[in-house]
Amino acid sequence: MKLGFLTACLPQLPLDEIAAWAAAHDYEALEVATWPSTGSRDFEASHIDVRAFGAREAEDVRALFDKHGLLLSSLAYYENNLHADEARRAEIADHVRANVDAAQLLGVESVGTFIGRHPGLSVKENIALAERELPPLVEYAGERGVKIIIENCVMEGWHPDGYPGNLAYSPELWEWMFDLGLYLNYDPSHLLWLGIDPVTALKPYLDRIPHAQAKDAQLDPAARNRYGFFGRTVERNDGWDSGWWRYRVPGLGDVDWRRVVDTLYEGGFTGVLSVEHEDPVWSGDVQRVTQGLEIAHRTLRPLIVG
């Protein structure tokens, strides 16, 4: 197992500066953000331009990672593959394929994305839509030796009332997506606030987890007594504002990282545990973000065999 982080937390820095910082601070891998320079997400990072990527660009990226002794663990483009707008959905699928092409050139095992959700359709209708839209992407990736990995993020901000916007948030849905040939980019933070024990959920599916993310969640049961499990309703400022929990860097929330990492080892996991930094306390500028990454490193490094 290697310790890395997702570069999306540093959208203002170029990849060479991020790689130099990671190597200097004892990180071993980077999960590289590949959003287009313009799109629908307000925190996009584009550290590799997969739309203008060929053999020369792949050689440059490999040379950069070799220089710093780093592994490029996965390409990261987490978008709504079931977007309600068909034209936008097609654009997203095209960008997933561009990521797969870049991963093939780089010799990278996986491309990360979301299932997503059409908010105007029922869950059953969304599943039927996914069963039409996603298998061609799985086939395209498989032909190029690449796995498509799905993070189990709830993406509640994609739904106007804060309900799940990514149909990959529970083991029930993991089993369905595995049947489509997809894999899991396991993240325990989302399970925690859903009331799912992250370790119990992890154990049966280790053979479908080539990559994992490390994000923590801090729960506030007293606030939940006011809002209920679904979070704020009348007082909700936006889809992300639950009112009773928030994401933290590992070590500052309620995930039991000793049990999570031990379970990964027990199941034979040899991939990368990639810190996904979305901590609102350790955000705002490069210094704060990198300090948050240092906190995550101090939490996780003692648990990972060197």
* Residue-averaged pLDDT of the chain: 95
Q: Summarize the chain as % helix, strand, coil (round to 5).
A: 45, 15, 40
Confidence band for 141, pLDDT divided at 50, 70 and 90: very high
Q: 150: which 2 tokens?
A: 């799905």
Q: At what angle do helices 86-106 and 55-68 cross, to 10 degrees?
A: 60
Q: What is the pLDDT of residue 38?
A: 64
pLDDT value at 23 more than 80: yes
State the pTM of this model. 0.96
Q: What is the pLDDT of residue 44?
A: 73
Domain containing residue 25: 2-303
Number of structural domains in the chain: 1
Q: What is the pLDDT of residue 240?
A: 78
The CATH number that applies at residue 24 is: 3.20.20.150
Q: What is the pLDDT of residue 43?
A: 53
- Alpha helices in the chain, H assignment, sequence order: 15-24, 55-68, 86-106, 123-143, 171-179, 188-194, 198-202, 221-227, 257-266, 286-300
Q: What percent of the chain has pLDDT over 90?
A: 90
